[in-house]
Amino acid sequence: MRKALKIVLIATVAIGVLSFVMMTLWNWLMPTLFGRPLITYWQAIGLLVLSRILLGGFRGRPGPPQWHWRRRMMERWEQMTPEEREKFRQGFKSYGPFGPKGGSEK
């Protein structure tokens, strides 16, 4: 019970501080740069919630964990023979930052 109360208290303080920082930054930058109106503390909290919904999502959503692909890749790597691993390495080295080296192969 004490741990849960501590977590709620820390979360409340964090939301309060983040909202104040967002309100301050908005009121400092947006009216000058873009002619936007000033916002209140409660509007800053609303912006935080909206940005979390639109950009961040919520933890605990269904589906595989974020790093699920890494575990799957490690499992595949362990199942490869040494020859397959070397072939994979060579194929991976042939890719530059924008695709295969030497042009596209169609």
**Model confidence at 29, in pLDDT bands (50, 70, 90)?**
very high
Nearest to 44 by CA among 14, 10, 13, 21: 21
Q: How far is CA 54 from CA 24, 48, 49, 51, in A?
A: 22, 10, 9, 5
Q: At 96, is the secondary structure helix, strand, or coil?
A: strand
Say what the pLDDT of residue 85 is.
87
HEC profile for 68-95? HHHHHHHHHHHHCCHHHHHHHHHHHHCE
Q: What is the pLDDT of residues 37-92, one digit of tens each?
A: 999 999 999 998 888 888 876 565 555 566 777 888 888 889 989 998 888 888 87
> 35's torsion region: left (phi>0), alpha (psi -120 to 50) or beta?
left
**Model confidence at 93, in pLDDT bands (50, 70, 90)?**
confident
Query: The whole model's pTM is what?
Result: 0.51
Q: Where are the domains of the chain?
A: 2-56, 68-93
